[in-house]
């Protein structure tokens, strides 16, 4: 994730001004005066989060943390992954990161990123990571750090997708979780997703609906930070789908070539239609996009999707159980009915009886209905 300092500074200075009784200065328009800007500069400086107290240097950058063991462990990861990320990508900057490990990633004191495991701040070469960040977060943020100016026309949504893609390639164990999350987002961008639940001889449907987003519109988002979008999950899903399909077909250099061509033509960003065509997503009908999403989902991703929407699936299972003859408990239902889950339009399926959280949600819903 990329956090634009100018946006963060605006928010933080406003907050600091209220705290320090400077709101009249701002609202009266005096901030245009040189002395006012000096005040704002001092306030903005005071807004920065304090640096972690321990620093450990390495040939690949500096890591700061409040505990020596935390910094030392991350230095090992950095020394292992930094050269791999740099060697994987064409057109990278000759820079080294400064990494801050924090309980909650924070650049400004009043702006904690509770929902992010990490972010990169352009212009500082600094990466902020959560102390217990998920695997792949370091690799994701290193991509943001290393992309040089040749990549500057890559829309923000696709840049996020590129970062996800590199992290998945270098940390394969994260692949199912990342792909499931992005498939979910891309599906919701198209208005939702539908699960088919197959029984012996019949099928029911569990639908998850959402307000649709134009996929090409999501791709057209250029330098706006996707994390600030109201439909962040959908934007990231579309960006990852496009980035993965382009790299599968043309490699990282093929994606870079699109960026370079846009720069030479004087464009601010690679056109969304160009990206969709390179990803074999033209003419861009919903069904073309849905087919592409289904291609990214195999059994491991499907299991994670099922758990992401376990409540909706359990509710449909309860409705299905009510159609069956005679009383049936949780164990009997999954043994007798043997429900299997798949995405509508796909053939690969998984047995729902193997997913303990869904069995528990099913039984909990049945008990609640029985006690009404």
Per residue in 7-17, pLDDT tens? Answer: 443 333 333 33
Is there a single domain that holds both residue 179 and residue 149? no
Buried b (16+ CB within 10 A) or exposed e, 102-122: beebbbbebbebeebbbbbbe
Whether 177 and 287 map to the same domain: the answer is: yes
- We report the CATH number of the domain holding residue 79 as 3.30.2010.30
Task: Please tell me the total count of domains within the chain.
Answer: 4
Q: Within 10 Å of residue 280's Cβ, how many Cβ atoms? A: 12
Q: Mean pLDDT for the chain?
A: 86
pLDDT at 41: 46
Percent of the chain with pLDDT over 70: 83
Helix (H, G, I), strand (E, B) or coil at 210: coil
Task: Give the mean model confidence (pLDDT) for residues 284-292.
Answer: 90
172-207: b (≥16 Cβ within 10 Å) or e: eebbbbbbbbbbbbbbbbbeebebbbbeeeeeeebe
CA 274-276-279 angle, to 5 degrees, is 110
In-domain check, residue 245 = yes
CA-CA-CA-CA torsion sign (257, 258, 259, 261): positive
User: Quick one: pLDDT at residue 315?
Assistant: 96
Q: Which one, of 339, 314, 132, 168, lies nearest residue 243 by Cα?
A: 168
Model confidence at 116, in pLDDT bands (50, 70, 90)? Answer: confident
Q: Given a cut of 70, is residue 333 above it in pLDDT? A: yes
> 131 with 65: CB under 8 angstroms?
yes
Q: Assess whether pLDDT exceeds 90 at residue 367.
A: no
Q: Is there a domain that residue 83 lies in?
A: yes
Note whether 183 and 283 are same-domain residues: yes
Q: Is the dihedral of CA 211, 212, 218, 220 positive or negative?
A: negative
Predicted pLDDT of residue 258: 98
Whether residue 165 is contained in a domain is answered as no
Of all residues in the chain, what percent carry a pLDDT higher than 90? 67
**In degrees rounded to 5, what are phi and psi of residue 182?**
-75, -35
Query: Which residues are within 8 A (CB) of 123 and not within 5 positions of it... i.e. 6 or more apart?
Result: 5
Phi, psi (rounded to 5 degrees) for 273 = -65, -35
Assess whether 177 and 291 both reside in one domain. Answer: yes
Number of alpha helices (DSSP H) and beta strands (DSSP E) in the chain: 15, 11
- Record the tokens describing residue 156, joined without a space: 């923000």
Containing structural domain, residue 116: 54-154
Whether residue 194 sits in one domain with residue 274: yes
Which residue, 279, 295, 311, sits at the end of a domain?
A: 295
| C-alpha to C-alpha distance for 226 and 236, rounded to whole angstroms | 7
Is residue 133 domain-shared with residue 76, that is, in the same domain?
yes
Q: What is the pLDDT of residue 221?
A: 63
Q: Which of 15-24, 129-138, 316-325 is least confident? A: 15-24
Q: What is the pLDDT of residue 47?
A: 78
Please indicate, yes or no, whether residues 259 and 312 belong to a single structural domain of this protein: no
Helix axis angle for 137-146 and 68-88, nearest 10°, is: 60
- What's the mean pLDDT in 99-115? 78
| Predicted confidence (pLDDT) at residue 304 exceeds the cutoff of 90 | yes
Residue 73 located in a structural domain: yes
């Amino acid at each position: 994730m990329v956090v634009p300092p100018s946006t963060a500074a605006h928010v933080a200075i406003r907050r600091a001004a209220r705290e320090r009784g400077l709101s009249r200065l701002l609202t009266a328009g005096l901030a245009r005066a040189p002395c006012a800007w000096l005040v704002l500069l001092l306030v903005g400086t005071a807004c920065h989060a304090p640096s972690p107290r321990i620093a450990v240097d390495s040939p690949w950058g500096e890591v700061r943390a409040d505990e020596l063991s935390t910094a030392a462990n991350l230095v090992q990861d950095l020394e292992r992954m930094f050269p791999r990320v740099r060697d994987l990508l064409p057109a990278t900057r000759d820079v080294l990161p400064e990494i801050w490990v924090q309980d909650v990633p924070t650049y400004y004191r009043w702006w904690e990123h509770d929902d992010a495991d990490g972010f990169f701040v352009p212009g500082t070469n600094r990466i902020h990571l959560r102390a217990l960040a998920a695997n792949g977060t370091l690799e994701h943020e290193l991509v943001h750090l290393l992309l040089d100016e040749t990549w500057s026309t890559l829309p923000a949504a696709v840049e996020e997708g590129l970062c996800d893609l590199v992290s998945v390639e270098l940390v394969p164990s994260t692949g199912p979780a990342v792909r499931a999350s992005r498939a979910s987002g891309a599906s919701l961008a198209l208005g939702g997703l539908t699960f088919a639940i197959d029984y012996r001889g019949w099928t029911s449907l569990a639908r998850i609906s959402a307000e649709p987003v134009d996929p090409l519109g999501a791709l057209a988002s250029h330098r706006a930070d996707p994390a600030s979008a109201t439909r962040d999950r959908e934007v990231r899903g579309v960006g990852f789908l496009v980035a993965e399909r382009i790299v599968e077909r043309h490699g990282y250099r093929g994606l870079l070539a699109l960026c370079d061509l846009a720069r030479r033509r004087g464009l601010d960003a690679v056109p969304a239609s160009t990206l969709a065509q390179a990803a074999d997503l033209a003419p861009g009908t919903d069904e073309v996009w849905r087919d592409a999403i289904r291609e990214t989902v195999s059994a491991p991703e499907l299991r994670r999707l099922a758990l992401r929407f376990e409540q909706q699936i359990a509710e449909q299972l309860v409705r299905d159980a009510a159609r069956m003859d005679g009383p049936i408990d949780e164990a009997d239902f999954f043994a007798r009915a043997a429900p299997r889950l798949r995405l509508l339009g796909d053939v690969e399926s998984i047995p729902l009886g193997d997913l303990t959280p869904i069995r528990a949600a099913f039984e909990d819903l049945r008990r609640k209905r029985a006690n009404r």
